[in-house]
Structures are given as structure tokens and as C-alpha cells.
Structure 1
Amino acid sequence: MRACGLDFGTSNTAAALPDGTVLPLQPHTQEPRLFRSVLFFPDDEPEIFAGADAIQRYLEDNTGRFIQSVKSFLHSRGFRATQVKGRTYTIEELVAILLRRVRDAAGAHMGEAPEAVILGRPAVFTPDPEADALAQQRLLRAAEIAGFKHVQFLIEPIAAALAYEAQLKRDELVLVADFGAGTTDLTLMRLGPSRREKQDRREDVVGSTGVRIGGDRFDAEIMRHKLLPRFGAGSTYRVRGFSDKRLPIPQHVLAKLLSWHEMSFIREKSTQELLETMLDTSDRKAEIQALYDLVMDNLGYRLFRAIEAAKVQLSKVEQTTLDFEEARISLHEPITRAEFEEFSKPLLDELEQCTEGLLARHPEAEHIDAVFLTGGSSQIPAVRQLYVRRFGEERVRTADAFTSVAEGLGRASAHLKV
């Protein structure tokens, strides 16, 4: 029975063979091994677009429903389903559409679509045990709807550890930190040649934990500190029916601007009416025009791609400019690495506390041989330095930031029992 490993991520999804080969799921794109975890339902045609094709179709004509970061809602009891073009889709059905497209794309390279899968999951979807269990149940059901007959789960940092282990020539005690878009997972694990062929690796795991900090939250801090004033933060508007009563923009509106996957949820009638009132009466009309276009023209995804691009640049240079020109929005905002690190300090502190908490619970952590960092945010200099300060430059190692988990899941699928 054909098997694969599948890393379903908040931003990207990847799949790998039992030998660790990460598959080119979308060979027509610049990043063929990364299948973007997005869907687009155009208004004027029945086809559902997924991955890079969804992004391209959305950018060509955004009249439709663009859905992204659905993984981040798996644990939410409040998000059971959504209406798209008059049809109700459960969260499991939305995830299943993505997983089915990935399964079919993998099948094109394997000769037939895989029926068995090792599916990655965070160390913790959420600290609430019931909500965490709900998230895994939903992900399991989505995989079954997508056509997988046999599904086993492996937490993502263990998968990353297995990818790292493939290159080891001696046994090591390793701290693995996997930085995703929505979460960071940490696992302390014994790895090496003497353990590599074991089918059950549970006894090699010393400890594991996670925290809801990922690339999206680093992006949000840039939005919060650099861009919210450009969309009206700090301005006031006149309340309808009162000639002398003015209010600031409601905090719930500004809060949703920090998450590109939540921004579309404020395109409701009551918010539109509020935006129109602010357009008429704001003391900073140009900024409210920018806010109106950002929300009503569904430009959140494009804006956060520009934010992400600036963040990536700051991993290479000390200063960059965040450029974004759409509708009545014109942003050319300089940002320095020092500023970004200051914005990110609360996140870095939380990451450090999570790491130290794991180490404190396991005395053998005094003998860590290596720290393996993977995932997009591992490339942020301040994140890397957090671990370099704690363990020394010689013990901190990295690999492919975006496919290590998929590679490890693929290697684990070689031992899949069906």
C-alpha cells in the first residue's frame, strides 16, 4: 500500500516519500515543493482553486471567497462551518479539499494516490486538552474525506528530528525547535545511527512542548507598530446622531487587522456601515480611505505578503522598506532590524520561557549535544540568537527551513503499519 508523509501547515503544505524525498507538488511554481494552504472560490465559476493556483486566480480577480490559515481554526469550537456561495462547508471539508489536492499531486509522482499517510500535527494545537483533541479529530476526519484509508499522527518537531537524524554519524541528545506559521514546537529527543531503524521512537522522546507563536505573529507585530496608524489608528470619527460626540476606531476592528486570515471576517454589513461613517466624519480621511479599501477590496492577503517580504529582508539586511501600492493605499514604510527586534521582544521572551520550561523539567537537558532549528521563523536573526546565547554557536544547527518536517514525516511513513 502506497504511503507518504504529509505536513499540513498554516501557510504551506508539503509531502514526502518514505526515503525522505520531498515531492514537487506544484512544479509550475517558483516553490514547487510548497503547496500553499489556501483556497479560492470564484463567484463566476464552479471550480475551486487551491495552492498557488488559488493565489493566482485571486490576484487576477478577487471577486470570490479566499480562505487561508484554516489550520489555525481546527481547535476552535466556535468555527464549525462557513457559507460559501450558498453552500455550507464544515472545517473538515475545507481542510479535506486541500489534502485531496495534495494527495492527488503526490499520486502523480508515485504512480497512484497514496492510501496511507503519516500526518504531522503540532505538539500542542492549544493548551486546552479538549480543544487540542478536537483539532486532531477534525484533522483525522479531513484526511479520511480526502481519501486516506490509514492515518497516523506524528508531532511535527519529532518529524523534524527524524530529518536531522538522517545526517548524523553518532548518537546525540537534540533539542528540536520547529517554527511554523501558527505555532512553535519544541522536542528534546535522542537521535542517531543506533536508533534510526527503530519503528517506535516514543521512548527516545525525552520531552515536548509548544507555544502559539509563529511567523504570523511576527508579521502581526510589524502591522501593529508600523502600519496601523496608516490605516487610521489614533484617529476619531463623529457618531451618527451626535454633532459633538467623537470616538476612536473600535479596538475589535484594529485587532482583526493584525491577522490576515481574520481580516475578511470584518467585511460584514455592520462594519461596512461603520467604515462609511468614518469615511464621512474622520479627522484623518486619507487613512480611513486606506482602511476602507483594505477591508472592502479584500487586500489583506496582499498586504501581509508585503509584510512577510519585508520581514524576510530583515533577516539579510539591517534596514528595508515595506512597499505596498493598491487602490488608495500607498505605503513606503522604512523599517530597521532593530525596530523589528524591539517589536518582537514579547514573542522572543515567550519563546525563551517556553524553552527554559522544557529544559527545567528534564535534568538530562544539561547534556544537549545540538539544537536543531527549522521552520520559517528560524531564519529570523533574533530567534537564532536566542538559542546561540543559551547553547553556543557551535551547537545550533539548521537545515531546509520549510521542508524538514515533511522529510521526517516521509521517513516515518516507511515504518507505517497498515
Structure 2
Amino acid sequence: MRACGLDFGTSNTALALPDGTVLPLQPHTPEPRLFRSVLFFAEEEREVFTGADAIQRYLEDNNGRFIQSVKSFLHSSSFRATQVKGRTYTIEDLVAILLRRVRESAGAHLGEAPDAVVLGRPAVFTPAPEADALAEKRLRKAAEIAGFTHVQFLIEPIAAALAYEARLEKDELVLVADFGAGTTDLTLMRLGPSRRGNLDRKPDVVGSTGVRIGGDRFDAEIMRHKLLPKFGAGSTYKVKGFSHKRLPIPQHVLAKLLNWHEMSFIREKSTQELLEVMLDTSDHPAEIQALYDLVMDNLGYRLFRAIEAAKVKLSSEDVATIDFEDARIHLHEPMTRAEFETASRTLLDELSQCTEGLLAKHPEAREIDAVFLTGGSSQIPAVRELYVKRFGEERVRTADAFTSVAEGLGRASAWLTG
């Protein structure tokens, strides 16, 4: 049996071996160990593109179907399947395509594709138990369709803890915070050399919890607070059939702009007709032209890459500019780190409340030796500062923000081979 650990993320997927080595799944890309969790169905081709290749084809060809963040829909009973070029794909089918490509890429390195996997999963996909169970069931089925014959799950912050533990020289009580694209998971766990060889690590877990806050929501707050007016927020249009009646853009339309992968829902016929009315009658025509092109030219992904780039820059600089030029959209919008932190205040408060809730349940939390932060949003200064203020600079530690979970899952997969 050949085993691996697999971190299937909302934005990126990574795979590691039992010794913790994270494989370069896409060696032709700038970040070879990160396989982007996206698919592209080209209009005129039968092949389904995945990862960085899907992004490249999408940027070259707007006529196909680009699918991202499919993990975020695993818990949703209302999302069962979608039609692509006349074929029905269940959510399990879509995830399986990604997992199969990752498995095959690993096989190219190993000479044989792994057949056993420890799959990461959030501490909670969603607070509703039935929906949480549905998400895990779907992820298991997708892994089996992809060719894995032995599938086990491990909570992602526990996996990150195992990666951190590999470097410890003494036992510690550690709070692990794993910041993904869609969720943040927290686990309080005893780690160290005396426990490292135990196959069953459940007794070492003091407590865990999670909240649906991740990198995508930080991006959404930049869009909400900085860019929505550039796409018509605050403008009005003339109601069809009423010469003097004007209305603001419906909130459901603006809400869809906060997540690029939801913008496609605006393209339904009734909303297209509304956009055309607004084009003719808006008191802010340039902004509505930008909105129309953003939606109808399927530019959401490109825009949110520009937003993400500015967010990343704000982790090391005080000012960043959101630069985006396409069709009738002309954005060169400066944003300060202070503005970003103000826009993110609600998210930071939720993270603080989630953390304090976990600590309050467990008296042992008074003895925490270290706080280990991992995942993309751990690099946001305000996020790190939240934990520094609570625990002190000397106890807050970080490692590779994007592969710690995969490394830990890989180490856990050693259990599958004894």
C-alpha cells in the first residue's frame, strides 16, 4: 500500500508523503507544491483543465466554464449537480476530477499513484451536524471515485499540529490556528517527543472549534468597503414603466459581487435585463458600464486576483493599490493597511470570540506553551497581532503558511502503512 496525505483546500491542494515531504505537483508553475483547486471546461475541447493549466486556459478563453471554491459547497444540500456542455456533474464528480489529477501527478513522481490517503477536513464544515456529515460523505466519495481505496480523515488543525510537532524537542500544550480560504480551525492539543510515536492522537486533543472565516472573506471586505461604489453602489436607475420612480441597485446583486464565483448567478436572464435597464437610465453610467462588463465578460476571477494581490502586499507594506484594467473597468484604487484593518474589524472580532470561546471551555488553556499560526491569513498583520496581544510575542510561532497542513497529513499517513 502506498500512502499519502492530501490537503484539499478551497483555493489550493497539496499532497505529502509519510516522511512529510510535500511533492511538487505542478513543477512548471511558480508555486509547484500548490495545485490550484480550480477546473476549466473549454467550450470547444473535451479535455477538462485543472490547477494552473485551468487558470491559464480561462484567461485565454472566456467562453468556457471556470469552477473554483467547490470545497465551499460540499456542505450544501441544495448544490447537488451542475450542467457543463450538456453533461451532468455532481459535486462529487467535480471534486474527484481534481483529486484524480493530484493523485496522478503524485504517481508521476513516485512511479505509482498512491492508493491510501489521509484527507484533511475542517474542524467544522458548518455548525449544522447533518450538513457537516454530508460534506465529509461527499469528500470521501470523491476520493474513492478518484482512485483512493483507503480513505481516512484528519482535522486540518491537528494535521498542522503534527507538522509543528516534528520540530519540537520538548512537550508543549499548543493552540493551533489554521487559516484557510473558507474557514479558520482552532485546536488545543498536547504535542511533543513523548507523544510523537502514538498512532492514536485523539487523546492528545484538548478541544477544537472552527468558524467560517478565511481568506475569501477578507477579500470580500475589501470589495465591500473599497470597490462596490466603483460598480454602482449608491447609484439609482429608472424603474421600467414609471417615468419618475428611481431605485437603488438591489442588494442581492451587490451581495453577489462580494464573491467572484457567485457573480455567474447574476447572468441569469432577469438580472441581465435589469442590468440593461440600468445601463440606459443610471445616474452613474460609467459605474454601471463597469458592473455590466464585470458580470457579462466574466471578469470576476481576474478582479479578485487583483484584490488578493493588494491584500498580500498590505501584509508587508502600509499602502497597496488595487490595479485592474479590462473592458470599461479602470481601477487604480489605493488602500492603506489601516483601511484594510477597519474593513476587517468584524472578522477579527469573530476570530477573537471563537478563540476565547475555545479557551473558556478548557481550564488547561491557562497552561498554553505556544500558539502556532498557519494558512494564508496568518500572514495578515492584524490577525497575528490578535494572538500576540492575547498570548505574547514569545509564544506565537509560524511555519510555511501553505503546506503545514499537507505535511502533517503526510506524516499521519504513515499510520496507514503501520
> What residue is the counterpart of 1:208 in the other structure?
208
> What residue is the counterpart of 1:160 in the other structure?
160
> What residue is the counterpart of 1:64 in the other structure?
64
**Structure 1 residues without counterparts, runs of 5 or longer:** none
> What residue is the counterpart of 1:106 in the other structure?
106
CA–CA distance in structure 1, aligned partners of residues 34 and 87 of structure 2? 29
Q: Does 1:199 align with 2:199?
A: yes
CA–CA distance in structure 2, aligned partners of residues 83 and 72 of structure 1? 18
- Pairs within 5 Å for 1:359-370: 359-370=359-370
Cα deviation, residue 251, structure 1: 0.5
Q: Does 1:16 align with 2:16?
A: yes
> What residue is the counterpart of 1:262 in the other structure?
262
- Pairs within 5 Å for 1:6-45: 6-45=6-45
> What residue is the counterpart of 1:388 in the other structure?
388
Cα deviation, residue 361, structure 1: 0.3
CA–CA distance in structure 2, aligned partners of residues 58 and 194 of structure 1? 50
- Pairs within 5 Å for 1:276-355: 276-355=276-355
Contact kept in structure 1, 2:264 and 2:298, CA below 8 Å: yes
CA–CA distance in structure 2, aligned partners of residues 209 and 149 of structure 1? 29
Give, as a single letter, the amino acid of the residue that structure 1 aligns with 2:286.
Answer: A
Q: Does 1:123 align with 2:123?
A: yes
Cα deviation, residue 109, structure 1: 1.0
SS of 2:394's equivalent? Answer: helix
What percent identity do the matched residue pairs reach? 85
Give, as a single letter, the amino acid of the residue that structure 2 aligns with 1:6.
Answer: L
CA–CA distance in structure 1, aligned partners of residues 64 and 245 of structure 2? 37
Give, as a single letter, the amino acid of the residue that structure 2 aligns with 1:226.
Answer: K
Give, as a single letter, the amino acid of the residue that structure 1 aligns with 2:383.
Answer: V
For structure 1, which segment, 161-170 or 255-264, has the greater mean C-alpha deviation from structure 2 after superposition? 255-264
The RMSD of aligned alpha carbons is 0.7
CA–CA distance in structure 1, aligned partners of residues 74 and 127 of structure 2? 13
Cα deviation, residue 260, structure 1: 1.4
- Pairs within 5 Å for 1:166-185: 166-185=166-185
**Structure 2 residues without counterparts, runs of 5 or longer:** none
Number of residues paired by the alignment? 418
CA–CA distance in structure 1, aligned partners of residues 370 and 70 of structure 2? 33
> What residue is the counterpart of 1:4 in the other structure?
4
Cα deviation, residue 241, structure 1: 1.2
Cα deviation, residue 242, structure 1: 1.3
SS of 1:291's equivalent? Answer: helix
- Write the deviation string for residues 221-252 of structure 1: whole angstroms up to 9, x where unpaired: 00000000000000011111111111111100
> What residue is the counterpart of 1:190 in the other structure?
190
CA–CA distance in structure 2, aligned partners of residues 417 and 126 of structure 1? 31
Give, as a single letter, the amino acid of the residue that structure 1 aligns with 2:271.
Answer: T
CA–CA distance in structure 2, aligned partners of residues 187 and 63 of structure 1? 43
Cα deviation, residue 151, structure 1: 0.2
> What residue is the counterpart of 2:139 in the other structure?
139
Give, as a single letter, the amino acid of the residue that structure 2 aligns with 1:391.
Answer: F
SS of 2:261's equivalent? Answer: coil
SS of 1:154's equivalent? Answer: strand
CA–CA distance in structure 2, aligned partners of residues 267 and 155 of structure 1? 37
Cα deviation, residue 125, structure 1: 0.2
Cα deviation, residue 61, structure 1: 1.2
Give, as a single letter, the amino acid of the residue that structure 2 aligns with 1:383.
Answer: V
CA–CA distance in structure 1, aligned partners of residues 311 and 170 of structure 2? 36
Q: TM-score, normalised by structure 2?
A: 0.99
> What residue is the counterpart of 1:228 in the other structure?
228
Q: Does 1:46 align with 2:43?
A: no
- Write the deviation string for residues 325-354 of structure 1: whole angstroms up to 9, x where unpaired: 011000000100000000000000000000
Cα deviation, residue 417, structure 1: 5.5
SS of 2:260's equivalent? Answer: coil
Cα deviation, residue 150, structure 1: 0.5
Contact kept in structure 1, 2:3 and 2:417, CA below 8 Å: no
Give, as a single letter, the amino acid of the residue that structure 2 aligns with 1:55.
Answer: I
CA–CA distance in structure 2, aligned partners of residues 276 and 42 of structure 1? 28
CA–CA distance in structure 2, aligned partners of residues 264 and 314 of structure 1? 29
- Write the deviation string for residues 259-285 of structure 1: whole angstroms up to 9, x where unpaired: 112112221111111111110111110
SS of 1:21's equivalent? Answer: coil
Contact kept in structure 1, 2:374 and 2:404, CA below 8 Å: yes
Give, as a single letter, the amino acid of the residue that structure 2 aligns with 1:216.
Answer: D
Q: TM-score, normalised by structure 1?
A: 0.99
SS of 2:181's equivalent? Answer: coil
CA–CA distance in structure 2, aligned partners of residues 29 and 390 of structure 1? 38
Give, as a single letter, the amino acid of the residue that structure 1 aligns with 2:373.
Answer: L
SS of 2:411's equivalent? Answer: helix
CA–CA distance in structure 2, aligned partners of residues 6 and 272 of structure 1? 40
Q: Does 1:407 align with 2:407?
A: yes
CA–CA distance in structure 2, aligned partners of residues 86 and 318 of structure 1? 49
Cα deviation, residue 416, structure 1: 1.4
